[in-house]
Amino acid sequence: EVQLQASGGGLVQAGESLTLSCQASGFTFDDDAIAWFRRAPGKGREGVSCISSDDGTTFYTNSVKGRFTISTDNARNMVYLKMNNLKPEDTAVYYCAVDFDRRKCLAAYYQNRFVYNDYAYWGQGTQVTVSS
């Protein structure tokens, strides 16, 4: 059974940093699309970043480019989202998600937008709150 366990959220001030972690179990990173999404209060789900687990291709939505970094530790089945210079508008519940079709992240890379939001497996979410 595929399971994703996200952690690392918290309350920080603007300009500070947080690193989110996501432990995956029930499968081994191979040629997957792994992503972080977020849902801010009163807004819809937004794709933040994704990575193709085999070749490391990454994509970031414009609002986080240069501030967030996605990475994986394939040996430990871990996914990370390093968030620097956090802003109040980054406040949201963050979710990690996985799909066994790596093309879902490659499509974002080539089209410069999250084309697919229907990833197959989702974690439970971790709250990030950034105060001004």
What is the pLDDT at residue 9? 97
Read off the pLDDT of each residue in 49-76 and give the average, rounded to a whole number. Answer: 95
Measured between alpha carbons, how far is residue 19 from residues 8, 27, 68 in Å?
6, 23, 9
Find all residues with CB under 8 Å of 76, minimum gap 6, and list them: 23
- CA distances for 11 relative to 2, 67, 85, angstroms: 29, 17, 13
- How many Å apart are CA 47 and CA 53, to the nearest integer? 17
Overall average pLDDT of the 69-78 stretch: 94
Q: What does the pLDDT average to over 65-78?
A: 95
Q: Which residues contact 63 (CB under 8 A, 6 or more apart)?
A: 89
pLDDT tier at 123 (50, 70, 90 boundaries)? very high
Q: How many CB atoms lie within 10 A of CB 26?
A: 11
pLDDT value at residue 13: 98
pLDDT of residue 64: 98
The stretch 52-74 carries a mean pLDDT of 95
Q: What's the average model confidence in pLDDT over 38-44?
A: 96
pLDDT for 78: 96
Q: pLDDT digits over 80-108, tens only?
A: 999 999 999 999 999 999 999 999 999 99
| Average pLDDT score over the chain | 96
